[in-house]
Amino acid sequence: MKKRCLSGMRPSGKLHLGHLHGVLENWKRLQEEYECFFFVADWHALTTNYKRSWEVPENINDMVLDWLAVGIDPEKATLFIQSDIKEHAELHLLLSMITPLSWLERNPTYKEQKQQLKDKDISTYGFLGYPVLQAADIIMYKANKVPVGVDQLPHVELTREITRRFNYLYREVFPVPDALLAETPKLPGLDGRKMSKSYGNSIFISDSPDEIRKKIMTMVTDIERPRKSDPGDPEKRCIAFNLHKLYMPEERLKEIVEDCKAAKLGCVACKRELSEAVVKFLEPIWEKRAEYEKGAYDVKAVLKEGAKRARKEAQKTMEEVRDALWSQNVKSD
């Protein structure tokens, strides 16, 4: 039997290169090896966006098209929308009964987001319970592996604690899942901070070639190299070089480092070359996306089919959960 892998993504709009290298390439690899469930976490999107709830479904189709275009394959992985499987809500409720408040209040993501998203009122019950819903998503499918970015590690850790508590209180129903980190956990954006839509420093998968060229040309290179005739140190000081490492063939990368250090290669030419490499890398993805947009994939049908498969598993799990919960099994603390 193949091991299970599960991951989700909030539908927050267009995906960028950080999603592509940090998450989707990992999913693509895992779908060959594991029985995978990948889902759209639309209820999670609501925890921070409940005032503009209509935006959530609008983003789903676009996001799933991006998934398909980069090679997530509905023949290999089960793709579905969280809110199509009502069992997640039931399991979330039951897990909320056994999750101590203190575990949620000390969650670093919670503390951080409450500080950073000052313009949004997220002192809600639902937002505090975000990781409880995430735990329900994960253990519903008895997942063994959860591929996520580093920012999600505290949530997976909480999932492990909640799972152990359920297994201890009632019965050993669930395996305790492990997080799986991607090889490129954080891709720096145009300004050197983590690539993130809210920082306005992203290159989107669906940007046009010209948008990509323009964005890359604005990237800061080695600030201690004001003139081409000054020697540079790309590995230490150049923001654009983070992208070179991903998109340049290894041989060329070596030459670039040498020529930059020898003050032979100018930054403008170097970024132009980078732009073309990024465009070339994305071309096959754009081609597929255009094909799929024209109807080669019926996204709605893919998600409906996925929901059918996911629901079957979820119903099975919930039967076990209810059985464990209501059976007499007194634990003395």
Alpha carbon separation from 107 to 23, 104, 126, 242 (Å, rounded): 22, 5, 14, 31
For 287, residues 6+ apart whose C-beta sits below 8 A from its C-beta are: none
How many chain residues bind ligand TRP (CB under 6 A)? 14
Residue in 85, 146, 239, 256 binding ligand TRP, rule: CB under 6 A: 146
Beta carbon of residue 243, minimum distance to ligand TRP (angstroms, whole number): 23
Beta carbon of residue 6, minimum distance to ligand TRP (angstroms, whole number): 6
Identify the residue whose tokens are 């540079």: 232
**Residues 150-209 close enough to bind ligand TRP by CB under 6 A:** 152, 155
DSSP string of 10-53, one letter each residue: ---SS-BHHHIIIIIHHHHHHHHHSEEEEEE-HHHHHHHHGGGT
For 307, residues 6+ apart whose C-beta sits below 8 A from its C-beta are: 80, 81, 84, 85
User: Given the complex with ligand TRP, which of 38 and 292 has the nearer CB atom?
Assistant: 38
Cα dihedral 309, 20, 47, 64, rounded to 10, equals: -40
One-letter amino acid at 323 equals D
Binding flag, residue 142, ligand TRP (CB under 6 A):
no
Residue in 31, 47, 134, 184 binding ligand TRP, rule: CB under 6 A: 134
Residue in 24, 30, 40, 41 binding ligand TRP, rule: CB under 6 A: 41
Q: Whole-angstrom Cα distance, residue 145 to residue 138?
A: 9
User: Given the complex with ligand TRP, which of 194 and 228 has the nearer CB atom?
Assistant: 194
User: Given the complex with ligand TRP, which of 44 and 244 has the nearer CB atom?
Assistant: 44
Residue in 10, 160, 215, 244 binding ligand TRP, rule: CB under 6 A: 10
Cα 326 to its chain centre, rounded Å, is: 36
Helices within 14-152 (DSSP H only): 17-19, 25-33, 42-49, 55-70, 87-98, 101-105, 108-116, 125-128, 130-140
Residue in 79, 138, 158, 314 binding ligand TRP, rule: CB under 6 A: 138
Identify the residue whose tokens are 């499918």: 141
Residue in 35, 42, 137, 222 binding ligand TRP, rule: CB under 6 A: 137
User: Given the complex with ligand TRP, which of 180 and 318 has the nearer CB atom?
Assistant: 180
Q: Which residue is nearest to ligand TRP (CB)?
A: 8
Q: Whole-angstrom Cα distance, residue 153 to residue 169?
A: 25
Strands 77-81 and 145-148: unpaired
User: Given the complex with ligand TRP, which of 113 and 242 has the nearer CB atom?
Assistant: 113
Residue in 4, 7, 78, 302 binding ligand TRP, rule: CB under 6 A: 7
Region from 3-11, 115-123, 213-221, 278-286 binding ligand TRP, contact rule CB under 6 A: 3-11
Binding flag, residue 12, ligand TRP (CB under 6 A):
no
Identify the residue whose tokens are 């090889």: 183
Binding flag, residue 8, ligand TRP (CB under 6 A):
yes
For 7, residues 6+ apart whose C-beta sits below 8 A from its C-beta are: 23, 27, 36, 37, 38, 39, 146, 147, 148
User: Given the complex with ligand TRP, which of 8 and 74 has the nearer CB atom?
Assistant: 8
Residue in 44, 88, 92, 244 binding ligand TRP, rule: CB under 6 A: 44
Region from 7-15, 49-57, 64-72, 121-129 binding ligand TRP, contact rule CB under 6 A: 7-15
Of 10, 31, 8, 28, whose CA–CA distance to 20 is shortest?
28
Region from 144-152, 162-170, 217-225, 295-303 binding ligand TRP, contact rule CB under 6 A: 144-152
Q: Is the dihedral of CA 271, 272, 275, 276 positive or negative?
A: negative
Give me the residues that bind ligand TRP (CB under 6 A), please: 6-10, 41, 44, 134, 137-138, 146, 148, 152, 155
